[in-house]
């Protein structure tokens, strides 16, 4: 099996975790395992638990990481087929109550986009799907054909920042009155018809924002991110670190706000000593987000929108 995917901000993400031999680490979005392989090479001993809700990623990792999974003494890698919002539950099954580091590489992976049948991409014609977890019932086909006009417009505007959201939603509802909208290309054509010609000629593919918005809604990406960050922070041992790579502003806003909530405290004026209960939980490792180098930007187009934030448990 092949899972061709170039990891974004590879060294920055793992090096800023400051991994230590013997530590327990979590890869919340295993994917092709690029970050995991780099981390495992930096450790002579230690434990890495890789989460992915995509069965294809898990199956591929079973083959590509067989040496780490089948080590005689103690496997240095364990794989968990579940969404990263279930960190505590799944780690408890493995007897783990504290971790020394965790990292996230958010968004859809290159192999998911490149598998036409997954229905993620506007570049390939396929049934509307977009499920990261293929055991999930709800998919893009149901969203496009069942949401009412206001719900559709809200999703496109909130998660895709699509300024023509109302026009697109109206056109979708009109078209599906005749028959259900079944494929990605059908949806692309509807979106193109709804957007004025002048606007279609700038800003990239006209369906890009809408497809992103639908994918985020189908997979509840922002809700599960919030839940997972809370669990991750509570699981970190003192000195443990969390690294998060985001690719869109809504994700980055959630990470930034969560880190801020745990790294800043309001101290009443005149209080000489900060009570233990209101001391900050996190320390920001970098005040500003880390972005890709000029070299990486030239080599990997996906890195252009990437932002990395890192924090340490106090």
Per-residue pLDDT reduced to its tens digit, 71-97: 666 779 999 999 999 999 999 999 999
Model confidence over 269-308: pLDDT tens digits? Answer: 777 776 767 789 999 999 999 999 999 999 998 899 999 9
Residue percentage of the chain with pLDDT more than 70:
96
pLDDT of residue 14 exceeding 70: yes
Is 88:235 a contact under the CB 8 Å cutoff?
Answer: yes
pLDDT of residue 147 exceeding 90: yes
Task: Compute φ and ψ for 149, nearest 5 degrees.
Answer: -60, -40
Model confidence over 172-187: pLDDT tens digits? Answer: 999 999 999 999 999 9
Quick one: average pLDDT of 179-201? 97
Quick one: average pLDDT of 255-261? 98
> What confidence score (pLDDT) does residue 109 get?
78
Model confidence pTM above 0.75 = yes
Place of tokens 């995917």: 5
Spatial separation of the C-alpha atoms in residues 88 and 97, rounded to whole Å: 8
In the numeric block, which tokens belong to residue 221? 């990406």
Q: How confident is the model at residue 1 (pLDDT cuts 50, 70, 90)?
A: very low
Rounded to a whole number of angstroms, the CA Rg of the chain reads 21
> What confidence score (pLDDT) does residue 236 get?
98
Crossing angle, helix 149-160 and helix 208-218, to 10 degrees?
A: 100
> What confidence score (pLDDT) does residue 257 get?
98
Q: Lowest-pLDDT range, 30-39, 110-119, 178-187?
A: 110-119
């Amino acid at each position: 099996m092949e899972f061709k995917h170039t990891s974004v901000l590879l060294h920055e993400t793992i090096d800023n975790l400051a991994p230590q031999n013997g530590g327990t680490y979590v890869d919340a979005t295993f994917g092709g395992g690029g970050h995991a392989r780099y981390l495992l090479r930096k450790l002579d001993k230690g434990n890495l638990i890789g989460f992915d809700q995509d069965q294809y990623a898990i199956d591929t990792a079973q083959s590509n990481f067989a040496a780490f999974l089948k080590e005689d003494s103690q496997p240095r890698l364990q794989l968990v087929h579940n969404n990263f919002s279930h960190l505590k539950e799944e780690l408890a099954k493995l007897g783990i109550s504290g971790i020394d580091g965790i990292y996230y590489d958010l968004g859809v992976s290159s192999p998911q986009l490149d598998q036409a049948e997954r229905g993620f991409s506007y570049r390939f014609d396929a049934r509307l799907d977009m499920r990261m977890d293929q055991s999930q019932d709800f998919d893009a086909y149901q969203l496009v054909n069942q949401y009412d006009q206001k719900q559709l417009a809200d999703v496109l505007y909130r998660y895709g920042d699509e300024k023509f959201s109302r026009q697109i939603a109206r056109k979708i509802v009109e078209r599906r009155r005749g028959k259900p909208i079944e494929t990605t290309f059908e949806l692309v054509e509807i979106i193109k018809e709804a957007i004025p010609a002048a606007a279609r000629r700038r800003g990239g593919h006209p369906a890009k924002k809408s497809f992103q918005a639908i994918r985020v809604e189908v997979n509840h990406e922002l809700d599960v991110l919030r839940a997972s960050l809370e669990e991750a922070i509570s699981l970190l041992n003192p000195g443990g670190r969390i690294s998060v790579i985001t690719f869109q502003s809504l994700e980055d806003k959630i990470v930034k706000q969560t880190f801020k909530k745990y790294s800043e405290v309001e101290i009443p004026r005149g209080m000489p000593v900060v009570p233990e209960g209101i001391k900050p939980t996190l320390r920001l490792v970098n005040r500003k987000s880390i972005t890709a180098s000029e070299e990486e930007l030239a080599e990997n187009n996906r890195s252009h929108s990437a932002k990395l934030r890192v924090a340490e448990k106090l």
